[in-house]
Amino acid sequence: MKRLLAAALSSCALALAAAPALAQDVTITNARLVIGDGSEPIANGTVVVRGGSVVYAGPAGGAPSAGETVDAAGAWVTPGLFATVTTLGLADVSAVGESNDITARSAPFSAALDAAAIINPASQHILVHRAAGITRAATTTLPSGSIFAGQGALIDLDGDGQAVMQPRAFQMVALGEGGAELAGGSRVAAHVLLRAALREAEALVGRTGTPQTTEIARGDDLFLGRFDAEALVPVVTGRQKLYVAAERAADIRAVLAIKRDFPRLDLVLVGASEGWLVADAIAAAGVPVIANGLTDLPESFEQLGATQSNAGRLARAGVKVAINAGSLQDPRRLQQVAGNLVALTRVPGASGMSWGAAFAAISSVPAEISGLGGKAGVLKPGALGDVVIWDGDPLEVGSVPTRVYIGGVKQDLTNHQTRLRDRYLDLDESDRPKAFDW
């Protein structure tokens, strides 16, 4: 409903300025307030949301007031978490093929795939993750038929019928072992394919729609078609971010080297298990990293150096680091990963993050990497009114939100799981079967 206004805007534009129709003005007082920008929590803080946006977040003294006042009674109050890179809204049950739109192995398209077209805002996964305090996410199809994943979208989790905030926010490409397999069997082939694809895209700059580019195919395998090449035009011109999945130190160096040939690329590294081994080079290139949070096993030969200290070491070297929700069992484990990064500060020889920095790695930093700096994952004037009140330390396992606002709208936190919970609060069927208990 709140997207009625948004729909009037260009499909590419952020719907940030649009005041949600149902947004309530609210003032949350007596909060243990987390800004989300890396700073440490503020005791007795106040957040004021007006017209769907944050107008104040800070110490109680001097705070304005608006709308309903909610006394947090000392509870933790934070910005909504930002989950990246996810597949939220793209599958009901991942192992049930017909419900799963995450990959399209047999499709003739790769880079042209556009997740925004089909994201299901009513997905149970969206409802479950909203109840876990995640209010915005980057969601994308994954590489399957080619090294290109397709174009990911930025979404909100308010379930109002229009999840997409920004379609085609980024393109993702797999290099390393995953890309090698998809490119026909080697990293070498993956690099040639990426460069060739970017050259095709360069040839199409300013001529979008002209059916002139050469497809890249082998037998029945189409690695890049005309529509895929067109989809890479905003990538090669730097208007759309290119997320590159790579793990090994050498692969990361190779990614950074691509920028020498295509200087306008706006690169983001995803995964980067061995990033700590080349942290200085990543920092010097100014490339942010969406890092696997706690990966510490040599899962593959490209992750031999994996360690939980990776994110902390990258951050210490000056790299902008967010946590990769795609590396987790579920994105709702982001809080657990961040908590573990704090735990590492107490382990001799390990590198972790301060509480504030770890929280930022699952809120403002992934939002900034997604192009929503100052808008999502942070409580600052002008930011989206995404506010979460928690029943405990939000980085501690087991803590859950008691209240979630998205764009100033108070969210319903029920879902399939909470309904099952309520039905099975007891096993009493003395009067009627459980099927009547709803």
What residues make contact with another protein under the rule CB under 8 A? 92-96, 124-125, 128, 249, 274, 277, 294-301, 303-309, 329-330, 332-333, 336, 339-340, 342-344, 346-350, 391-392, 395-400, 416-417, 420-421, 424-425, 427
Closest CB to another protein among residues 261, 280? 280
CB of 340 to another protein, least distance (A): 6
Least Å from the CB of residue 421 to another protein:
5
**CA separation for the pair 155, 170 (Å, rounded):** 13
Closest to another protein by CB, 219 vs 433, is: 433
Q: How far apart are CA 305 and CA 248, in angstroms?
A: 8
User: For residues 170 and 355, which CB has a smaller minimum distance to another protein in the complex?
Assistant: 355
Give the whole-angstrom CA distance, residue 356 versus residue 379. 13
E strand or H helix that includes residue 221: strand 221-224
Which residues face 290 on adjacent strands?
A: 270, 322
Q: How far is the CB of 252 from another protein (least distance, A)?
A: 12
Smaller CB separation from another protein, 74 or 286: 74
Q: What does the longest C-alpha to C-alpha distance in the chain come to?
A: 73
The 3-state secondary structure of 47-113, one letter per residue: EEEECCEEEEEEECCCCCCCCEEEECCCCEEEECEEEEEECCCCECCCCCHHHECCCCCCCCCCCCC
Least separation, in Å, of the C-beta of 94 and another protein?
5
At its nearest, how many Å lie between another protein and the CB of residue 433? 12
Of 98 and 220, the one with the shorter C-beta distance to another protein is 98
d(CA 120, CA 99): 11
Gyration radius of the chain over CA positions = 22
Q: 3-state class of 353 per DSSP?
A: coil
Give the nearest distance from C-beta 78 to another protein in angstroms: 16
CA dist., res. 377 & res. 383, Å (int): 8
Segment holding 188, helix H or strand E = helix 187-204
Distance (Å, whole) CA 291 – CA 271:
5
Structure tokens at 393: 């330390």
Contact status, residue 291 vs residue 324, Cβ threshold 8 Å: yes
| Residue 135 or 308 with smaller CB distance to another protein | 308
CB of 123 to another protein, least distance (A): 10
For residue 304, the minimal CB distance to another protein (Å) is 5
Residue 255 C-beta: closest distance to another protein, Å: 18
Answer whether 334's CB lies under 8 Å from 362's CB. yes
Q: Which CB sits closer to another protein, 110 or 303? A: 303
- Select 12 or 424, whichever has its Cβ closest to another protein: 424
Tell which residue, 170, 224, 151, has the closest CA to residue 192. 224
Cα gap 155→124, rounded to integer Å: 15
- Cβ–Cβ < 8 Å for 390, 77: yes
**Integer Cα distance of 339 and 353 in angstroms:** 9
- Closest distance of CB 62 from another protein, Å: 33
Our CB check for another protein shows the closer of 110 and 308 to be 308
By C-beta, is 309 or 411 nearer to another protein?
309
Closest approach, Cβ 341 to another protein, in A, equals: 10
Residue 207 or 416 having the CB closest to another protein = 416
**What distances in angstroms separate CA 208 from CA 179, 228, 232, 241, one per listed residue?**
27, 11, 10, 18
3-class secondary-structure state, position 242: strand
